Amino acid sequence: QFGLSWSLAWLAAGLVGLAALALVDSSEQQLPDRLIIATLPFLLAVSVVTPAVSLTIQAALFGLLGGGGSLWLLWIITQRRGIGLGDVKLAAAFGLALGYPLIMVGLFAGFILGGIFAMSLLVSRRAKFGVGTRVAFGPFLILGYLVAIIFGRSILASLERSDIIDNRPAVGHRDLALI
């Protein structure tokens, strides 16, 4: 899917920024704006040169709203305690780079991977439920982004074939004639 090409070069450069984000978030529990902004051009370049993404301006804007908006709502609902504003900004950047619907694959994968990690902490008794153990979410958002870049189109195609996703318009042209 990537091969030895510009997409691989841009992805490698972007991975350096993503690794820095993951390391900072894991140790400091924050995602610096400067680092998110510095990584964004590489993410956008990967989206432009990677056939798996096929980004349009409309998809990018919907991805920005879907990624950033979803996590912003979670940030508000949890009263700014369940997720950090840096996670919201990172999800918005990923949404802009991935577009819609790939951002939803990335978010879902990030939440699943983060949940598996949290459950492993509980099962291994390294953490107790509801007792102040903080887990950085940024690294899981980053893993979700990578899942979406590498497997996103295949996941979406599988969901479409299984009729979980229905791509038919809600109102068809025949239905409009009746209105």
Asked if the model's pLDDT at residue 176 lies above 50, the reply is: no
Q: Check whether 81 has a pLDDT greater than 90.
A: no
User: What's the pLDDT at 65?
Assistant: 95
Residue 152's pLDDT is what? Answer: 92
Tokens of 35: 């680092």
Of residues 115 and 45, more confidently modeled: 115
pLDDT reading at 61 higher than 70: yes
How far apart are the C-alpha atoms of 18 and 31, rounded to whole Å? 11
CA dist 163 and 77 (Å) reads 31
Position 166 scores a pLDDT of 62
Report the alpha-carbon distance of residue 136 to residue 128 in Å, rounded: 16
CB 145 within 8 A of CB 50: no
pLDDT above 90: percentage of residues in the chain: 49
Amino acid identity for residue 135 in this structure: V
Q: Is the pLDDT of residue 35 over 80?
A: yes
CA 103 to chain centre: 5
Q: What phi and psi values does residue 99 have, to the nearest 5 degrees?
A: 80, 175
Mean pLDDT of all residues in 89-103: 94
114-141 residue pLDDT tens: 999 988 888 887 766 666 677 899 999 9
> Average pLDDT in the 53-78 region?
91
Give residue 167's pLDDT. 60
What is the model's pLDDT at position 178?
Answer: 44
Higher per-residue pLDDT: 38 or 52: 38
Residue 49 confidence (pLDDT) above 90: no
The residue-averaged pLDDT of 19-25 equals 95
pLDDT the model gives residue 110? 97
Contacts of 1 (CB under 8 A, 6+ apart): 50, 51, 52, 150
